[in-house]
């Protein structure tokens, strides 16, 4: 009798990017590259490319619920990855499915190109309904400032304040790409709870000067979700996600897709 092999599986609940660089499309590419099975429920639709976000709108709450019921009733999910969740109704539906699964949330608010993807009501719903059920959070600098409700000078201090605000968080990944170090490097830091204390784990890489960064946040968060689904320890999953994303940035640096912030090229 043949033994059954269980494949690590991640469900992404996020928005769709028709240009293929971010959102659901980047998530699924990342899952495949990281060696896990990817399922996807679309929470929002966007009209965007490498230059700008032209429009964004939520999927109806009923259809979001139907997608999630279909997946959870059939497939074992090891980790849930959250991306763009537009609107309170969508957040309410998603929150109802999160209690029994490890959740890593990329609090998508603003695209690399500068386009606003969700409104203030969506941000409020995310903070009120989703973050209390989130295990790991992966904001960029601008999203961290929204969560802290003020400009951020020290990202470690800001991360600590978010951990204190949301005591259910197991960790927060603080990405340094928006503020390279004076020596030409970038330091990413994971704050995580262990034995009642908040610990730090930092990973430093050379700063890559490139405009091809479309979907970098989605890719990093999805990679960390994938490595957590493979039962890596949080700090190890973080390090592997940082190195995974850095490698893709290096690979994609000199390639050209579109006329703006080009995407990471997961297939290379």
How many other C-beta atoms lie within 10 A of the C-beta of residue 116? Answer: 12
**Which of 46, 79, 213, 219 is an active site residue?**
213
Q: What is the dihedral of CA 193, 195, 198, 199, to 10 degrees?
A: -90
**Which of 112, 187, 216, 219 is an active site residue?**
216
Annotated catalytic residue 105:
no
Annotated catalytic residue 218:
yes
Exposure on the CB side of residue 208, measured as CA atoms within 13 A? 18
Annotated catalytic residue 21:
no
Quote the tokens at residue 53: 């976000």
Annotated catalytic residue 177:
no
Annotated catalytic residue 245:
no
Give the pairing of strands 185-194 and 171-174.
antiparallel
**Which of 38, 83, 217, 262 is an active site residue?**
217
**Which of 29, 133, 175, 230 is an active site residue?**
175
**Which of 23, 38, 83, 215 is an active site residue?**
215
Q: Which among 53, 39, 127 has a CA at the least distance from the CA of 85? A: 127
**Which of 218, 230, 245, 262 is an active site residue?**
218
Annotated catalytic residue 33:
no
Indicate the angle between helix axes 234-252 and 216-229, nearest 10 degrees: 140
Quote the tokens at residue 124: 């409020």
> Which residues are known catalytic residues?
175, 213, 215-218
């Amino acid at each position: 009798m043949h033994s059954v092999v269980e494949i690590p599986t991640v469900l992404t609940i996020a928005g769709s990017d028709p240009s293929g660089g971010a959102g659901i499309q980047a998530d699924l590419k990342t899952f495949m590259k990281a060696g896990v099975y990817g399922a996807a429920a679309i929470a929002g639709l966007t009209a965007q490319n490498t230059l700008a976000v032209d429009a964004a709108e939520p999927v109806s709450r009923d259809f979001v619920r139907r997608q999630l019921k279909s997946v959870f009733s059939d497939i074992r999910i090891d980790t849930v990855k959250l991306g763009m969740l537009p609107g309170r109704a969508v957040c309410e539906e998603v929150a109802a499915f999160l209690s029994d699964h490890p959740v890593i949330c990329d609090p998508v608010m603003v695209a690399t190109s500068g386009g606003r993807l969700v409104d203030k009501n969506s941000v409020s719903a995310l903070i009120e309904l989703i973050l209390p059920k989130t295990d790991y959070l992966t904001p960029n600098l601008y999203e961290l400032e929204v969560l802290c409700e003020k400009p951020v000078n020290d990202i470690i201090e800001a991360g600590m304040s978010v951990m204190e605000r949301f005591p259910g968080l197991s960790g927060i990944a603080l990405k340094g790409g928006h503020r390279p170090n004076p020596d030409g490097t970038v330091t990413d830091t994971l704050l995580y709870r262990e034995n009642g204390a908040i610990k730090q784990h930092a990973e430093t890489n050379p700063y890559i000067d490139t405009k091809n960064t479309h979907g970098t946040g989605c890719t990093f968060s999805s990679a960390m979700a994938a490595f957590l689904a493979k039962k890596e320890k949080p700090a190890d999953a973080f390090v592997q996600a940082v190195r995974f994303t850095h490698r893709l940035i290096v690979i994609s640096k000199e390639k050209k897709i579109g006329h703006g912030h080009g995407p990471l090229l997961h297939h290379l």
